[in-house]
Amino acid sequence: MATERKGKRMCGITGVHNLKSAVSPKEYIQIMLDSIKHRGTVDAIWSNNTLALGSRRLPIVDLENSPQPIFSENRRLILIGNGEIYNFSELRSDLLKKGHKFNTNGDLECILHLYEDQGNEVWNKLRGMFAVAIYDLDNKTLILARDHMGIKPLFYYESADSFLFGSEIRSITMHPSFQKELNAQSVADFLSLQFIPKPQTIYEGLFSLPPASFLVLKDGNVSVQQYWTIDPDPSIIKISREDIAEKTLALMKTSVQRRLMSDVPVGVLLSGGLDSSVIAALAREMTRKPLETFSIVFKEKSFDESPFSQLMARHLKTNHHEVVLDSNIILDSMEEISYHLGEPFCEGSAFPIYHICKYAKDYVTVILSGEGADEIFCGYEPYTALNLSRYYKMLPSPVHRLFTSTVNMLPVSEKKVSLDLKLKRFTAGVGFDPPKAHFWYRCSMNDDEKYQVLSNDFFRGLSRPASSVLYEDLYSSMTSDDTLNKIMATDCHMHLVDDLLFRADRMSMAHTMELRVPYLDIDLVNFVFSLSSKRKIRGLYNKIPLRDAVKGLLPTQIRQRPKKGLNMPYQQWFKQKGWKEILHDSLEGNSLRAQGFFNVKAVQKMLNDHVTKKKNHAHALWTIMNLILWLKNNGFQ
């Protein structure tokens, strides 16, 4: 049964700390809060001569007894925060036994009391998602902290006069001390990844606080420290397959139970794939009322998963809702979605998630989603490709050459994750070391392609021309001997947090909804990363612990489904009226020259080769188009 509790949802924070400015920090805090009004409907502000703190909140239940900011008992410490602490009841109970007195019924106050006792050791005690700011009035010290997996965002910017922070980039840009300067390295990385790898952002000097980190600002000096990393348990090596399945199911049940804790309606994003179906099945067991489930429907058959989501909804007897999307709906909403993203971003699932949250908000306020399952259970096709590459490399060179030439002759397909695209990426990257091969397989533009479309002057000005280095550096920083686990951990540090969780937060909060991710409970993450990759994948069969855990819980057709993923058929849409014009207008000569980044002839050749079906450049063209549209809409010409 779902747990009900008193409290409210914390949706967004922002703040100004004067370093040298003579302007009152309170003067602009309201403007900063107004820029994130979609994150909550009630605001609160506290300020003194050097600091202004603001929060946007969504009132649900008992708001008057859980105000922000929250003060410690002696009023020395002050806190504002965004998020949910799922183990707050246990923490609160322990603190009460130690003599602490609580002024609110909310979950975030326990952080303040724990900080009083333990300082920055507090963060590892928490199970949940959070982005918080604590100010020590006596020591004049500001602390910012972000949850273990980076579910909740937090950004900061330091100028000569002020230190600014906020849940979204937009709130920081509202302050007059912010200098709007484009980060060229971020532009180059975006072209390869379709998102901007953090801690950098699209703006120079504006950074994302890394996951599992806290920032200390004292006497004008800023330091950032990591408080946690994935912590495998070596004793789990000898555990049996049956015990792994049992432990996985137990941890999943605990995680889902925690994330059903709410005093408002909760639903599930149900694609019909394994990950979301497991969440829906467990949630259905724990709720009295029929579960609300939500799915996307595409008219393009290879992109549509609705037969599977309908099957799962019937199996669980949920109140199932479908949102039908077509090319015109997405085209008409692109500018609005770009606004909420705040910086260039075009990973395809963001756009459908925006629309499903827009629909779901009339039925639920909290929604559960399956982000993270692939990164911990070895679910993505690039992991399978890397797993098979060791066998491919054993074949003699003539076989490699014959296979590559055959693959290159395959006709271009417009189907989702088509065979020709997968095989061409595999042969292009298989000769590299694992992290670079992984980048090559999943990027929208590899380093060679990016070099061709960027101007020589722009490329020479980059401190790190090759985006593949990001993967190589992360991979090499890990101590494990398990190649696949290191690749999955690399994705947890970059693709998961900077892509999937970034868009999950923005697209849900655009409609004042809270999206929760059961697969990223850190107890589950630590356990699954304690398993060798051989326990997760064999040949083409992946996610073994999860599939084993839910035998009897899901229909076999769902439990054995391969990964499909949520994306959009923009390759097909590029031929349609409206889409064709926006693509060609964005990539015409004057538009490309206005940015100053591109080799105009190379981009237009890429477009021509795609239109004539010489090569599938859909991902690259979609990325360039979205970058140019964002730059135009944000005053960079």
Q: Which residues are catalytic?
A: 11
Work out the end-to-end distance of the chain between its first and last CA atoms, rounded to an integer number of angstroms: 55
Name, in order, each residue with C-beta under 8 angstroms of 288's C-beta and a sequence gap of 6 or more: 1, 2
Asked if omega into 199 is within 30° of 0 (cis), the reply is yes
CB distance 487 to 55 below 8 Å: no
> Which alpha helices (DSSP H) does 361-467 contain, by range?
373-377, 381-392, 397-408, 419-429, 434-442, 447-453, 456-460
What stretch of H or E contains 619?
Answer: helix 618-633
Q: Which of 530, 470, 517, 482 is nearest to 149 (CA)?
A: 517
To the nearest 10 degrees (0 to 180), the angle between helices 579-586 and 327-341 is 50
Name, in order, each residue with C-beta under 8 angstroms of 585's C-beta and a sequence gap of 6 or more: 591
* C-alpha distances in Å from residue 177, one per residue of 119, 522, 529, 635: 31, 38, 43, 18
Instruction: State phi, psi for 575 to the nearest 5 degrees.
Output: -90, -10
CA distance 559 to 424: 29
How is the chain split among helix, strand and coil, in percent rounded to 5? 50, 15, 35
Token pair listed for 538: 């064999």
CA distance 247 to 427: 38
CA distance 546 to 524: 11
CA distance 483 to 495: 17
CB distance 112 to 43 below 8 Å: no
Q: Which of 499, 484, 496, 565 is nearest to 529 (CA)?
A: 484
Q: Pseudo-torsion of CA 176, 334, 276, 558, nearest 10°?
A: -160
CB distance 111 to 132 below 8 Å: yes
Beta bridge partners of 215: 144, 224
Centre a 10 Å sphere on the Cβ of residue 300 and count the other Cβ atoms it contains: 17
Handedness of CA 203, 205, 211, 216 (dihedral sign): negative
Handedness of CA 389, 394, 400, 402 (dihedral sign): negative
CA triple 166-172-173, angle to 5 deg: 155
